[in-house]
A = this chain, B = another copy of it.
Amino acid sequence: MKMNTLTLAVVLGLGSTSVIANTDVAELEQRINELEARLVKTEQVTEEANDQASSFEFHGYARAGLLINDNLNGATGTGPYMTAAGAIGAPIGRLGVEDDNYVEANLIHNRYLDDGSSARFHIMLADSVETNNEWTAEESQLNVRQVYSELANLRAFSDSEALSNATFWAGKRFDRANYDIHFLDSDIVFLSGTGAGVYDAQLSDDWKANFSIYGRDFGNIDSSSTDIENYIATMNNWVGNWQFMLSGMTASDNKELTQGSADKGFHALLAYHADSFYGAGEGFAKSGVLFGDGLGAELKGIGSNGLLTEDAQAVRVFTYGVTRFAENWRAAPSFMAEYSQDRFEKNDEFAWASVNLRLAQEFTENFEMVYEGSYQYMDLDNATDKASGSFYKATIAPTLKLSTSKGFFDRPELRFAVSYVDWSEDLNDYAVSLDTDAATMGDGGEVLFALQMETWF
């Protein structure tokens, strides 16, 4: 009995414990119910917020700042295309010589369907002014540079090996596959205009290709003038690290607009995109050669120049890379050179080569010293006048940024820069253009001071 009583006591004790546990469990169940209800609501609101947030994207590029010459006045005529050869696309290192306040603002609308297909609408507003003042209505260049739509991963093509991951587009745009040598402010090719095309057609396991048709206009476009359009058909291929791009173009009646001008053209690019710094370290390197004929002889801005002659020919080579070569040092060498003949006139002949080295020395996570040396040789003969010689630039730029460890392409950067620029006397007052009011390099030997920001996102 004692035992039983004990048993009972234990049982009752346990029972009472169990009753408490049951109450606890019911309470917990109640709390879980509430949590579930709240989570359902939160998931819903989250999805809505996410949908709304992801339907819009804002991206941009901008540079702005002061550029002061050694007379304590605004520097004029400077920039990466400041040399006589700049008129035919020869860049020098950009650090510390850019004076424009330039901005690109991209507004993007995305639409996602549950089946995985999506649409993307993109507009880009851009502006470039030299004035330091803030009300720039008179100088404003504000304009819409891009307006296009894309359709991707369309369900109807899901069984097509070639098109299941393809992106279709139409409108006005910069080609998606353009890429540049940032340090020279020069695209390798800058294919752009109004048209349509398809990206990421999978032609075989290793072979991806883009196809596009772009139209461009020559001359001023208004209702009274002749409307000459240049149509460019492009095939851009990637096989492993190799890129091979072919473009043909035709511009009816362009011969009539300007005597001797070409009405068709051809353009080719062969490039290698290396995953390391020339096999010698971390980073990357890109190298290639471009060739153009007739309207295709404007090697960067494919099909953008209606003044090229039928016999125009140009060849360009480039290479650049980015690496880290010590704990706190980074380097980015670039090289670009071009030879062209019969470009604007029979027997004109232009040769130039640019070499540039940007170095960054990281002091802290937020501060680095950036150095740039730039050299350009040019030998220019516009069939009337000749000039040849060299351009030199050296720049040192203390720079603030969020994260120096993230390398050359982390932005924004706030920088102070001092540059010395000079060139051969032979180049003073020479211009490629035969226009009497064509801009020339003037005299060299100048120190430039810059206070600048540059960003992209």
Interface residues of A (CB under 8 A from B): 1, 3-4, 7-8, 10-12, 14-15, 17-18, 21-22, 24-25, 28-29, 31-32, 35-36, 38-39, 42-43, 45-50, 52-56, 58, 60, 62, 64-66, 68, 71-74, 76-77, 101, 103, 105, 107, 109, 111, 113, 117-119, 121, 123, 125-149, 151, 154-157, 168-174, 192-196, 213-217, 220-223, 227-229, 231, 250, 252-253, 304, 364-367, 400-403, 412, 414-416, 439, 451-455, 457
**Of the residues B14, B45, B47, contact of A15 by C-beta under 8 Å:** B14
Q: Are B215 and A154 in contact (CB under 8 A)?
A: no
Task: Give bound CA distance, A220 to B82, whole Å.
Answer: 22
List B contacts of A193 (CB < 8 A): 132-134
A-B contact pairs, 11 of them (CB 8 A): A42-B43, A55-B58, A60-B121, A62-B149, A73-B253, A119-B402, A132-B194, A132-B217, A133-B192, A135-B145, A151-B402
A contacts with B: majority SS: mixed
Q: Are A151 and B414 in contact (CB under 8 A)?
A: yes
Copies of this chain in the oligomer? 3
Q: Are B35 and A39 in contact (CB under 8 A)?
A: yes
Q: Are A43 and B38 in contact (CB under 8 A)?
A: yes
Task: Give bound CA distance, A223 to B75, whole Å.
Answer: 10
Q: Are B14 and A21 in contact (CB under 8 A)?
A: no
List B contacts of A214 (CB < 8 A): 132
What distance in Å separates the Cβ of A407 from its nearest Cβ neighbour in chain B? 15
List B contacts of A170 (CB < 8 A): 64-65, 414-415, 451-453
Q: Chain B: which residue is nearest A15 at the CB level?
A: B14
List B contacts of A414 (CB < 8 A): 149, 151, 168-170, 196
What distance in Å separates the Cβ of A293 from its nearest Cβ neighbour in chain B? 20
Q: Are A58 and B56 in contact (CB under 8 A)?
A: yes
Task: Give bound CA distance, A55 to B220, whole Å.
Answer: 40
**Of the residues B101, B194, B365, B415, contact of A64 by C-beta under 8 Å:** B194
Q: Are B195 and A451 in contact (CB under 8 A)?
A: yes
Q: Are A171 and B65 in contact (CB under 8 A)?
A: yes
Task: Give bound CA distance, A46 to B48, whole Å.
Answer: 10
Task: Give bound CA distance, A451 to B149, whole Å.
Answer: 12
Task: Give bound CA distance, A132 to B144, whole Å.
Answer: 11
* A217-B132, A217-B133, A221-B131 given; A149·B11 CB < 8 A: no
Q: Are B64 and A111 in contact (CB under 8 A)?
A: no
Q: Are B24 and A68 in contact (CB under 8 A)?
A: no
Q: Are B227 and A73 in contact (CB under 8 A)?
A: yes
* A252-B72, A439-B223 given; A48·B50 CB < 8 A: yes
What distance in Å separates the Cβ of A457 from its nearest Cβ neighbour in chain B? 5
Q: Are A252 and B32 in contact (CB under 8 A)?
A: no
Task: Give bound CA distance, A47 to B412, whole Å.
Answer: 23
**Of the residues B43, B121, B168, B194, contact of A101 by C-beta under 8 Å:** B194
Q: Are A68 and B231 in contact (CB under 8 A)?
A: yes
Given contacts A52-B53, A136-B144, A170-B452, 4 further A-B contacts (CB under 8 A): A32-B35, A66-B215, A142-B143, A170-B453
